[in-house]
């Protein structure tokens, strides 16, 4: 990734990035697609030698994930990745269809800046419901046998944040609170709707007609960003974390 920090002048661009991925329309295929996107962003961070951490994963019943949240800890990672917010569309031959038919799947990506300390906003401890549960997915037997995972609900707004990555409950609680602070700060911004849309982009249903980018694996090979018409004829390379072309295109625009 080329150094484009001179173009990242918005208020929150220097922050770390919190990325949440949600499976949309498309059933099991969409859940598999959400997991593919999670791997794509983790590989992107790895290729750029940026530290990343998966905070929570909710696995699908048959395959893939229903949702996941990760943090990319490099300075300016929010500035670089904020353009990834929106609906991502996949077209391919379904591995979950007995007739191997072409299938279209959708997933929603949300990118927020991290706030370690938010002086502008006080969180009343009495307005929080903190629950612990056994973590699922990667982490080994230790994680699954203890209630180390933490889910925090802000009762006034209904906003939630979860973390299950760490072995210790206290560390999961700390990470979940960081995520909750970011979501609450976004929720409470004075210039509410306009400022929130600037932070994460206008969130739309993960379905037909709302995608920011399409990844076509069949009947041809193409990744296309619908906002700036940038294309790649090698979707497998893009899914392997080579997002520089699309990220730089969004920033320059």
Task: Please report the pLDDT score of residue 23 as a whole number.
Answer: 96
pLDDT at 97: 84
Model confidence pLDDT, tens digit, residues 31-42: 999 999 999 999
Give the fold, CATH level 3, of 13-117+192-243: Alpha-Beta Plaits (3.30.70)
Among candidates 81, 83, 102, which has minimal Cα distance to 216?
A: 102
Comparing CA positions, the residue from 201, 200, 139, 210 lying closest to residue 168 is 139
Q: Phi first, then psi: what are they for 23, rounded to 5°?
A: -65, 135
Give the model confidence (pLDDT) of 77-87 as tens digits.
999 999 999 99
- State the pLDDT at residue 99: 83
Q: What are phi and psi of 169, to 5 degrees?
A: -60, -40
* Cβ count within 10 A of residue 159: 15
Rounded CA gap, 246 and 232, in Å?
9
What sign does the dihedral 199-161-21-36 (CA atoms) show? Answer: positive
Nearest C-alpha neighbor of 150 from the set 68, 56, 61, 223: 56
How would you list the strands of the sheet with 52-59, edge to edge? Answer: 52-59, 65-72, 17-23, 102-113, 86-93, 211-216, 222-225, 231-232
What pLDDT is recorded for position 195?
A: 61
Domain boundaries defined on the chain: 13-117+192-243, 125-188
Nearest to 31, CA basis, from 72, 62, 64: 64
125-188: CATH class: alpha beta
- The pLDDT of residue 190 is 46
Q: Are strands 128-133 and 102-113 parallel, antiparallel or unpaired?
A: unpaired
Residue tagged 């929106």 (tokens): 86
Element (H, E) at 39: helix 27-47
Which residues have CB under 8 Å from 186's CB, separation 6+? 112, 196, 199, 200
Count the Cβ atoms, other than its own, within 10 Å of residue 183.
21
C-alpha 216/C-alpha 214 separation (Å) is 6
Pick out the chain residues at pLDDT < 50.
138-144, 190
The pLDDT of residue 141: 37
- Per DSSP, what are the bridge partners of residue 72? 17, 52
* pLDDT at residue number 1: 85
CA gap 137, 144 in Å, rounded: 8
């Amino acid at each position: 990734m080329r150094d484009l920090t001179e173009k990242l002048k918005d208020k929150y661009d220097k922050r770390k990035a919190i990325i949440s991925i949600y499976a949309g329309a498309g059933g099991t295929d969409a859940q598999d697609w959400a997991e593919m996107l999670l791997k794509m962003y983790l590989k992107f961070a790895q290729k750029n030698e940026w530290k990343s951490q998966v905070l929570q994963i909710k696995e699908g019943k048959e395959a893939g994930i229903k949702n996941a949240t990760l943090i990319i800890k490099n300075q300016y990672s929010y500035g670089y990745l904020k353009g990834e917010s929106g609906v991502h569309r996949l077209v391919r031959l379904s591995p979950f269809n007995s007739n191997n038919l072409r299938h279209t799947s959708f997933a929603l990506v949300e990118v927020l800046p991290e706030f370690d300390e938010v002086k502008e906003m006080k969180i009343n401890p009495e307005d929080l419901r903190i629950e612990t549960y056994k973590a699922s997915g990667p982490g080994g037997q230790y994680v699954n046998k203890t209630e180390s995972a933490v889910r925090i609900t802000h009762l006034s707004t209904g906003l939630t944040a979860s973390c299950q990555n760490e072995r210790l409950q206290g560390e999961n609680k700390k990470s979940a609170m960081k995520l909750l602070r970011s979501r609450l700060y976004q929720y409470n911004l004075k210039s509410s709707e306009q400022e929130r849309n600037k932070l994460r982009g206008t969130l739309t249903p993960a379905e037909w007609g709302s995608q920011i980018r399409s990844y076509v694996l069949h009947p041809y090979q193409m990744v296309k960003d619908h906002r700036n018409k940038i294309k790649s004829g090698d979707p497998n390379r893009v899914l392997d974390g080579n997002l520089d072309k699309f990220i730089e295109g969004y920033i320059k625009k």
